[in-house]
Amino acid sequence: MTPIHPLILKFGGSSVADAACMRQVATLVRAALPKAPLVVLSAMGKTTNGLLAAAHAAEQGDLPTALEQLKALIQHHRRAAEELFEGGVPDGLDQGLTDAFGQIELLLRGVALLRELSPRSQDAIASFGERLSTGIFAAFLEHQGLATAWVDARTVMRTDATFGEGQPQIGLLRELAIAHLAPHLGIDRVLVTQGYIGATEEGLTTTLGRGGSDYSAALFGAALQATEVQIWTDVEGVLTADPRVVPGALPIPELSFAEAGELAAFGAKVLHPATIQPAVEANIPVTVRHTGKPLGRFTTITGEVRSGRPVTALASRGPITVLTVSSTRMLAQSGFLARLFEVFGRLGVSVDLVATAEVSVSLTVEADAPLKVLLKELSAFATVKTAEDRAIIAVVGERLKYTAGLGSRLFGALADINIEMISMGANEINLSLVVNRADEAAVLRRLHAALIEGGGP
């Protein structure tokens, strides 16, 4: 039998927040019927936060508050179902909702009784958001006359037992996708499943971490050799900067995988960083689209883009902390850097940027890094200075290195701002600056005006 190569449509929480949003998504799915759509849904907007808030209230022994929060979630989901099915919620869906909410209540009561919320229990509770949204949506599609199948993603998304950050087992996932998803794919048929959630080989529910629905969509797409992975959200593609900071930010028509990965890693809000990798390996294009503006602008992410532009976009992340490690023993000595980074590796602290001089190394870590422990260990063989409440500004573009005069424009725009650290990425498409966080917004606006709005080399 010839395999079907589906179109993956992933819709985030804002896209399925209520009945009106779900109707819009159903319209988009109907339009995709000729492309054998596989629909991956997040939980309805803010549902995961609500479930986790209820779980934490139960952990504190406040069962009444936990149950009150659950009641609000029940009302929200039932209201959406009632608005979608104006003639009355189908019996099967109604019973499914009742059963699901009963299971959540039992879990919350157990957490309250033990006063303990293990990562395993938290994942079990959080997973209901996607299970509820997909149950309602699949029933609505069927009610609309679409041939619809619903598959529990936990039968396919096989992960390890790292609850809260489950690591997909790619080989097993591919086999399970062919076994459980592929048979339901077809022209003029819809397959609905969940993002974010998975299960261990023993059947224990896991989650992929916040934002994991994008990752799920890309993994399913790679496993099934999809024609495209569409990420539907509330913006018209990936923007040249954060529009909340830079009002003139614009959608980027095309991004390379490398550019998208850099932007995601350095603070772009649209894509989960891990989303990119499965698509890279399978050479599947990813598009980022606005659910409310399906005919509007969007971004296509592919293996390589030759636009000729020197700068594609700006991203920023903060707060971060800069550590400057100095020692005269660095002079003409091998092994110093190995000893330095051994400390970070042993403590499980990730380093983002590194800049070296003859007798010192400057590097950046996240604001929540264990500074006291780091300083104690590093001070045993070096002098360490710290600068907290800093921000990384990343200038990303495939032709950064090859554009003459770019440096003068960049530093000219920031002539009166103190730049504390500069690092050119190893892949030569990311020039990162470290500035005081108080200057972050101004730096973004100035660089956007000079490097992107100004255009040309």
Nearest to 239 by CA among 309, 317, 315, 294: 315
Q: What is the pLDDT of residues 368-384, one digit of tens each?
A: 899 999 999 888 888 89
131 Cβ contact list (under 8 Å, min separation 6): 100, 152, 194, 197
**Position 176 pLDDT exceeds 90:** yes
10 Å Cβ neighbour count for 455? Answer: 9
pLDDT of residue 352: 85
The token pair at 323 is 């550590």
Given a contact cutoff of 8 angstroms between Cβ atoms, the answer to whether 226 and 220 are in contact is: yes
Beta-carbon contacts of residue 84 (< 8 Å; ≥ 6 apart) = 19, 22, 23, 136, 140, 143
pTM of the complete model: 0.85
| pLDDT higher than 70, residue 455 | no
Rounded to an integer, the average pLDDT of 81-104 is: 95
Question: What is the rounded distance in angstroms from the CA atom of residue 278 to the CA atom of residue 170?
Answer: 10
Residues 211-256 have pLDDT tens digits of 789 999 999 999 999 999 999 998 888 889 998 999 989 888 988 8
Top-confidence residue, 258 or 226:
226
Please name every residue paired with 206 in a beta bridge, in sequence order, or none if there are none.
Answer: 198
pLDDT over 50 (residue 457): no
- What percent of the chain is predicted at pLDDT more than 70? 95
pLDDT at 274: 72
**Which fold is adopted by the domain 313-453?**
VC0802-like (3.30.2130)
Helix%, strand%, coil% for the chain, nearest 5: 45, 20, 35
Predicted pLDDT at 334: 64
CATH architecture of 7-234: 3-Layer(aba) Sandwich (3.40)
Most confident among 121-130, 236-245, 286-295, 423-432 (mean pLDDT): 121-130
CATH 3.30.2130.10 range(s) for the chain read 313-453
Torsion sign (Cα): 204, 152, 8, 179: positive
Which residues of the chain does CATH 3.40.1160.10 include? 7-234
